[in-house]
Structure 1
């Protein structure tokens, strides 16, 4: 089924009943039936590879004037096209939902991160079945489909082991194969991985050379090779979404060391240097001005002298991480080329799903978990200096300072999270397709947006937009095919209107003009947040024909034009599910108030031995209160070791376990302090009930408490925990029964040695009625949520 006679507007394509005359006997010479023809796309349809990096600002890559060498990007740009005005949504979940659906992010329910979903249509985090994703459309037209890497689009209440899996990449997202992680980030050395919907573990340790970027690349190469070997006439669609360069910035040391000294003069000098290079490359028009640094961002010269070596190393590690990611994208491209398939592969290399991330605080952090839990007091200049050699390695969970994020967005205003300004939404993008694009090395300046990708792919493959999918009438794609720019650098711009909105930050682009307003700064300690009503937000106006970078606000000179664009924003926002605007804080974190399902409620939860890889939001919250952990275990004659239950990992969490037969409890405080309580005697052979009780001190958030360990109701040990996590244990580590995945809480053993050597019947968590969560400042809670995206 490859001919144009195939009707493709209704998906799945209806099976056609044979209309030939049926004979009585198959041996009859008149017995003829057409051969079975596997479904294939229209003849000549290209393979499709979409590469989307994470948290990379416009001014980071060397291809777009930045300091970080990206030879693969340069290679693809030399044979393809550079798009200098390609735009995203300013945040990962919304950008990815828009990319994969071809519709604006609020239309597919992704008006924010999944953890802040509400019942309003634009922020449910649920893609409507009226908006079938690109992968589903391609699969139902005969493509092989696979996703590798990050997926942060699954509703949080569906991320547990019971699903449902309707919104996972496979099967619900249209991908036949998925290998990667759920959520905003993962530890690059100890990732929380899934193959399909099944948790899997890395096949080697960091000491043995493991890094997720290499692993996902090898998996993608293997999948493509198998697909091409078995069905060479069947095109593939691969969505390749590394965790790079989202924090934690983790990369082998030799890659970071390539940039030693490259950032010694600081982020303000880097902006000037990058800007000059961008002009020299023609990436920005000659009359472009460098935008000013906002007053809430510190100048390099204002940073404490004792912090400067750490700040420089943060940038070196980040640059090494970005080049390392590009290196493995190159491995993937090479593998496709070696198969002879690169000529007819449409490659999108989108260098960032939003601007560079401001979430590393004003000074950067050794461990994101420290800053997310608002314990910046731990990360003194002396502490950070003591950790400088660990940055980028398995012992760190590091992120750079805000000033670097702004510099990596040169020449634009602002960063990730700020949907109003180009620093949050403009990302350098390369399109490479030798069979179709002949202007290798060309630059394209037309306004384009992430929702344009799906439309372009369908046009390139000759597949029409479906009118119905699985019996459901479809919402038309919102984007504009970019193919009109392939042959003509001067083609008149077709995508001439686009709204932007996230977290109340708003903007509208229309025929060269942009009107924008900031409602909230990035949520960071040290930045005084704005608190005005939406109607009191101050709008800015920019004329893109003379001001490429949004450097000169001319709202006062053109009030009529500003009013025209403000009205257009309202019309676009109403059309695409943007309303109601929502700047609530703690309310959006409370599932019952926000109106989203909550997987775990009540004060008790029972877990069983097969339950591992449980995300934090699928387990009873034991923070800021008293809690107990009870388990029934059977100990063999030779004694027992290993994990009974653990939550978190190396950078924070708690664990109930046995060491040399002795019942033990560990509270790991942010990977900085470990509080251990251990019995002097061993658990006897046989079946027993073991329990740990934590009595919270009270008096606020993150306080300490006393621990008592029991075996069959008898106290066997007591101890103290001096401080606890007030907000989260981890961005990616999980709760595990019977063994730990990824890294271990206590450090008394590795994950490979953590399996409980006895038998566990059940584990029960119980929380007390002394919760102090009501003391959480709504602004703090909001910041915590935003820094997990």
Structure 2
């Protein structure tokens, strides 16, 4: 495992103690450079579960994280090949997680490319998505939220600032793209590509944190000592054509495309232009790995009973042989909730928010709330979600933690004035 861990960093919860033979990771996101300072500058690096210095000579510092996580993983692949063993590599790139930063030579390639602004660029992306067959032409493009200013209303200085923020973000995406290419080329050169299943996806939609203005600080924004968040306006562009953002359970927060490659087993389908639109979920990734490896999912861990595996193997969708069973899909994050059964989706913002009901077959961008027209369906879906939430330990919600002053902490992320990709969602 290489990259961002972020599923627990207390003793006993490192990749090294959760089944990975080799790991190089950060406890959470935000670290991109070995010499990084600023809000995430104190982030640590762990090698096989043990903390190591970020400037350790074995990592050939100074390094940029996207390169480091790829290089470390390829070394592991070489170990597996030398030992004549199969391998599983979980590569969790930290980019483009905030704070946004990338090599200056890559950022420079994108400066000025976003001066058309989010209004025009969103229309262009929407048309290109339809031309690619990525989205259905009947999916309506969601309008710009009232709180986001029209691009043409901004001063030239404001536009230049926003353009540079997005250039930094685009540079991070290019660095990920280039290193995925490095990985593919290396697997090809090692004779491993044809019989290796690669699954590439994002874990959520665009991030609207830092609000309308975003964050843009430092003497040289984008370098290891700066702090940049692209903010609400560019997240609206990133999530074209959907509503909402990371943290939320509307499609803009959860729906992202999954790209799969397995040359030895995958069959191209001219009928659907190689797009598969069956709704799937990140819980299916474990089930897929267990299936393809011929492994058995354990029933206990260290003597404790564990929750049975919840997902379904994606083998039928990947190979074109067989079918994946229909099932309900569920979400909960920071009080935001959703359930999808067939094309009916019930979704809520926050613990006390009002439920909304959408027919994703005709309204994938969630613009026509059917809650008043179909109250019985909404009530049935809500009960189904409640049962799942209780059985999955989502409910009851833990009590709020108290601050040092004795006052309860509030979830500021859900209290901000924010609204919150495209086969279904992780």
- Per the normalisation by structure 2, the TM-score is 0.87
2: CA distance, partners of 1:454 / 1:487? 17
2: CA distance, partners of 1:573 / 1:474? 17
Of the three residues 330, 333, 356, the one matched with 1:540 is 356
Q: Is the 8 A contact 2:222 2:228 kept in 1?
A: yes
Q: In structure 2, what is the equivalent of residue 787 of structure 1?
A: none
Q: Secondary structure at the match of 1:286?
A: coil
Of the three residues 157, 161, 176, the one matched with 2:21 is 176
Change over 3 Å in CA distance of 1:207–1:248 after alignment to 2: farther
1:109-142, CA deviations, whole angstroms, 9 ceiling, x for partnerless residues? xxxxxxxxxxxxxxxxxxxxxxxxxxxxxxxxxx
Q: Secondary structure at the match of 1:565?
A: helix
Deviation, 1:364, is 1.7
Deviation, 1:513, is 0.8
1:423-456, CA deviations, whole angstroms, 9 ceiling, x for partnerless residues? 1111121111112112176111000000000101
2: CA distance, partners of 1:496 / 1:272? 34
Of the three residues 571, 581, 588, the one matched with 2:401 is 588
1:687-724, CA deviations, whole angstroms, 9 ceiling, x for partnerless residues? xxxxxxxxxxxxxxxxxxxxxxxxxxxxxxxxxxxxxx
Deviates more, 1:238-247 or 1:251-260: 251-260
Q: In structure 1, what is the equivalent of residue 39 of structure 2?
A: none
Deviation, 1:395, is 3.0
Q: Does 1:228 align with 2:58?
A: no
Of the three residues 326, 331, 335, the one matched with 2:186 is 335
Query: Comparing both structures, which one devotes a greater share of its residues to helix?
Result: 2
Q: In structure 2, what is the equivalent of residue 448 of structure 1?
A: 280
Deviation, 1:782, is 8.3
Q: Is the 8 A contact 2:242 2:251 kept in 1?
A: yes
1: CA distance, partners of 2:237 / 2:341? 27
Of the three residues 131, 136, 140, the one matched with 1:289 is 140
1:462-492, CA deviations, whole angstroms, 9 ceiling, x for partnerless residues? 2233344554444321111111222449x76
- Map 1:637-652 → 2, pairs under 5 A: none
Q: In structure 1, what is the equivalent of residue 6 of structure 2?
A: 152
Q: In structure 2, what is the equivalent of residue 483 of structure 1?
A: 315
Q: In structure 2, what is the equivalent of residue 213 of structure 1?
A: 66
Of the three residues 252, 264, 267, the one matched with 2:118 is 267
2: CA distance, partners of 1:774 / 1:467? 41
Q: Is the 8 A contact 2:284 2:312 kept in 1?
A: yes
Q: Secondary structure at the match of 1:563?
A: helix
Q: In structure 2, what is the equivalent of residue 276 of structure 1?
A: 127
Q: In structure 2, what is the equivalent of residue 500 of structure 1?
A: 331
Q: Secondary structure at the match of 2:401?
A: helix
Q: In structure 2, what is the equivalent of residue 353 of structure 1?
A: 203
Q: In structure 2, what is the equivalent of residue 247 of structure 1?
A: 98
1: CA distance, partners of 2:414 / 2:276? 39
Q: Is the 8 A contact 1:447 1:496 kept in 2?
A: no
Q: Is the 8 A contact 1:448 1:495 kept in 2?
A: no
Q: In structure 2, what is the equivalent of residue 404 of structure 1?
A: 234
Q: In structure 2, what is the equivalent of residue 509 of structure 1?
A: 340
Q: Is the 8 A contact 2:32 2:95 kept in 1?
A: no
Q: Is the 8 A contact 1:300 1:403 kept in 2?
A: no
Of the three residues 33, 41, 47, the one matched with 1:195 is 47
2: CA distance, partners of 1:782 / 1:289? 26
Change over 3 Å in CA distance of 1:250–1:495 after alignment to 2: farther
1: CA distance, partners of 2:409 / 2:391? 35
2: CA distance, partners of 1:416 / 1:577? 22
Q: Secondary structure at the match of 1:449?
A: coil
1:561-580, CA deviations, whole angstroms, 9 ceiling, x for partnerless residues? 22221222112212211112
Q: Secondary structure at the match of 1:444?
A: coil
2: CA distance, partners of 1:188 / 1:397? 13
Q: Is the 8 A contact 2:6 2:27 kept in 1?
A: yes
1:308-362, CA deviations, whole angstroms, 9 ceiling, x for partnerless residues? 1010111111011111111012112211111101111111111x21111112332
Deviation, 1:188, is 2.6
Deviates more, 1:267-276 or 1:308-317: 267-276
1:726-785, CA deviations, whole angstroms, 9 ceiling, x for partnerless residues? xxxxxxxxxxxxxxxxxxxxxxxxxxxxxxxxxxxxxxxxxxxxx8x579985669889x
Q: Is the 8 A contact 1:447 1:493 kept in 2?
A: no
- Map 1:30-109 → 2, pairs under 5 A: none
Q: In structure 2, what is the equivalent of residue 310 of structure 1?
A: 161
Deviation, 1:174, is 0.6
Q: Mark the runs of 5 or more structure 2 residues left unpaired by the alignment.
A: 37-43, 417-426
Q: Is the 8 A contact 2:335 2:349 kept in 1?
A: yes
Of the three residues 249, 263, 266, the one matched with 1:434 is 263
Of the three residues 7, 22, 31, the one matched with 1:186 is 31
Deviation, 1:400, is 1.1
2: CA distance, partners of 1:589 / 1:451? 32
1:488-527, CA deviations, whole angstroms, 9 ceiling, x for partnerless residues? 49x76524301211222111100111011112xxxxxxxx
Q: Secondary structure at the match of 1:356?
A: coil
Rg larger for: 1
Change over 3 Å in CA distance of 1:201–1:783 after alignment to 2: farther
How many aligned positions are there? 404
Q: In structure 1, what is the equivalent of residue 248 of structure 2?
A: 418
Change over 3 Å in CA distance of 1:547–1:559 after alignment to 2: same
Q: Is the 8 A contact 1:293 1:413 kept in 2?
A: no
1:263-307, CA deviations, whole angstroms, 9 ceiling, x for partnerless residues? 112112222111111111111112111123333444434545532
Change over 3 Å in CA distance of 1:495–1:254 after alignment to 2: farther
Q: Is the 8 A contact 1:290 1:551 kept in 2?
A: no
Change over 3 Å in CA distance of 1:154–1:473 after alignment to 2: closer
RMSD: 2.8
Q: Is the 8 A contact 1:311 1:401 kept in 2?
A: no
Q: Is the 8 A contact 1:188 1:211 kept in 2?
A: yes
Deviation, 1:255, is 1.2
Q: In structure 1, what is the equivalent of residue 421 of structure 2?
A: none
